[in-house]
Amino acid sequence: MQLQQDRRDKRTSGEGNRGMVLLGVALLLLAGVGSRLGYLQLVRGSYHRELAENNRIRLIPIRPPRGRILDRYGRVLATNRLSYSVFLEPMQLRARQWPEVLGRLSGFIAVPADRMAQKLRIAGYNSPYPVRVLQNVEPKLVTVLREHIQQLPGIRVDVEWMRTYPNGPIASHLLGYTGEISEQQLAERKEQGYRLGDIVGKAGVERLLEEQLHGEWGGEPVEVDGAGQVVRVLGERPPKAGADVRLSIDLSLQKAAESALHSLQKRGAVVALDPRTGQVLAMASSPSYDANILSGRIATADWKRLQTPERPLLNRALRPYPTASTFKIIMTAAALESGKFNPASTLQTFGGLRIGSRVFREHDGGGFGRLGFVGALAISSDTFFYQVGLRIGPEQIGHWARNFGFGTRTGLGLPSESNGIVPTPEWKMQRFGQRWYPGDTANTSIGQGMVLSTPLQNAIMVSAIANGGYRVQPHLQLDSRPGLSPVGLAPATLNTIRLGLIEVVRGGTARRSLGNIGIPNAGKTGSAEHGLRKARQTHAVFVGYAPILQPQIAVSVFLENGGHGGSDAAPIAKKIYKAYFSHGTKKSASTSTKHVE
């Protein structure tokens, strides 16, 4: 009996010990949990409260509207309108959930799911910023998307500012267009606060003045429910709109230039400058395009039209072409400043001149007798300037071409501007590994062969004659300071060239087009032959200014395969002069034709 009692006592004692152990373990676990809870609440409490708030509060970025682009009189050239866009909210879903949602969305908006997925990957799945996948959404599609929004978690349809050009294709090459920032542009501008999906200038003034036009983002903190829907707005930091910029462009003159150019249905360009300041009054290129079609999703048919051989996106005002006989302005300056000629010098002209093994002919097939510089400019004698060029040499010609601004960009700042070409013996050897021949000098002397200039450079050249011998720095912003640098012409040289250009209109190659328009003007025509002899075509060129005394406008016209300078290019200048001087704000043109001595 005693033995059984001892066993019962030991069993009871063992069970008591195990109970104590279990109680101790439980107490230790509770202590651990308690200490962890204390740590999380007391030490890390603020951190986790912040996490909870971030799960409940979301910042909706607000994109700033771009600044407007205005003409010199405040008329709108580019502005903004509200339109619908479709966005992805990266933080709304986990990475593995997006493929299914994007597949559904693609069925509604016809944007490939893989393209949207790529944009999402670039933005990052934890990005707080919405990722745009479609712009300029039609209201009908907006309604459809909102009806199915429960099937499209992480998708938001919202309004945003979209660029619009109220004048359609007018000044499209000058203004350019906008588009979504590329990866390369983002890398270049990230430190300036740019983000994926930003709308930036891609061409023209939109690109040139991007920093002024862009603006600063704002934000709107909102409270959202578990489904990500906005419950209430908690505040707002308004975006800062981009600055408006006022250009030197005159919208009425721009329309006149484009109308005159497009009426011929030829490729070409027109530039009008204020020769006193370098302000660009108009710059037109044909064919043109409507920048509105590039502001959002471009239709396939529209894109194909932009890729035609006509190259409507090309700004021909900045493209190099043969200068043709307008180069004789520079030839006259080079000759008179060489010391080998003077304003009274004369030369016999011929039906043709043999230079080396080739005969270089006069443009009318016969000679004009003995001429001085004024007469040679007026009737545009080729054989006169062949002789001049051979006597002064290519280095002297090149020097004065560069003085007038040829062979280098003008500094206007627009993308894709060409330098043009000022050929010299050194240049030809470097470019082609060939020596220079007298025939090269002859061709250069009449603005053909290898010499190339842009319509803008041609406008700067004639502006220097109009303003008294200063090369202007062209600019597009109305408040920019004029930049003038002396070409280096002696007064006698300048006066001889002016007399020649006046005679071009009074009784020379531009008489029929510009001689009796009621506005005293001066200018120089040019016709540049190109192509094989059996299929030879002619570019039409004209430069000029008006009025003769105190000139206010200088014009440059170029028509690809457009005919002749006097009969085809000069009439466009006539229309521009008429449009300019018809404005009530312009000073009336003097009817005097007194020469500037």
Interval 213-250: pLDDT, tens: 998 888 777 676 655 556 676 767 788 899 999 999 99
**Bridge partner list, 233:** 222
What's the farthest any 2 CA atoms get from each other in the chain?
159
HEC per residue, 311-376: CCCCCHHHCCEECHHHHHHHHHHHHHHHCCCCCCCEEECCCEEEECCEEEECCCCCCCCEEEHHHH
The highest-level CATH class for domain 58-246 is alpha beta
Q: Which has the minimum average pLDDT: 83-92, 192-201, 412-421?
A: 192-201
Residue 192 and residue 210 in contact, taking contact as beta carbons nearer than 8 Å:
no
CA dist 362 and 384 (Å) reads 9
* Parts of the chain belonging to CATH 3.40.710.10: 251-288+313-581
In eight-state DSSP terms, residue 411 is S
- In this structure, of 98-112, 127-141, 452-466, 495-509, the range with the lowest mean pLDDT score is 127-141
Model confidence at 587, pLDDT cuts 50, 70, 90, reads very low
Judge whether residue 431 has pLDDT over 50: yes
* CA pair distance 524, 540, nearest whole angstrom: 11
DSSP H/E element including 219: strand 218-224
Lookup result for tokens 């800062």:
240
Q: What is the pLDDT of residue 429?
A: 96
pLDDT of 575 higher than 50: yes
| Superfamily of domain 251-288+313-581 in the CATH hierarchy | DD-peptidase/beta-lactamase superfamily (3.40.710.10)
Express each pLDDT in 131-190 by its tens digit.
999 988 999 999 999 999 999 999 999 888 899 999 999 999 999 999 888 888 888 888
Question: pLDDT tens-digit profile of 312-365?
Answer: 889 999 999 999 999 999 999 999 999 999 999 999 999 999 998 999 999 888
Q: Which two tokens stand for residue 49?
A: 């409260």
The 10s digit of each residue's pLDDT in 351-383 is 999 998 999 999 888 899 999 999 999 999 999
pLDDT at residue 589 greater than cutoff 50:
no
Q: What is the pLDDT of residues 63-93, one digit of tens each?
A: 889 999 999 999 999 999 998 999 998 988 9
Q: What is the pLDDT of residues 13-33, one digit of tens each?
A: 555 566 665 666 566 666 655
Reduced to 3 states, what is the DSSP secondary structure of residue 26? Answer: helix
pLDDT of residue 411: 93
What is the torsional sign of CA 371, 372, 373, 377?
Answer: negative
- pLDDT exceeds 80 at position 194: yes
Between 597 and 446, where is the model more confident? 446
pLDDT of res. 536: 75
Query: Do 69 and 213 meet the contact criterion of CB atoms below 8 Å apart?
Result: yes
Per residue in 487-527, pLDDT tens? 999 999 999 999 999 999 999 999 999 999 999 999 999 99
Q: What is the pLDDT of residue 297?
A: 65
User: What pLDDT is stored for residue 218 in this prediction?
Assistant: 80
At which residue do the structure tokens 């060029």 appear? 389
Query: Which has the higher per-residue pLDDT, 222 or 47?
Result: 222
pTM (predicted TM-score) = 0.83
Specify the domain boundaries for CATH 3.90.1310.10 within the chain: 58-246
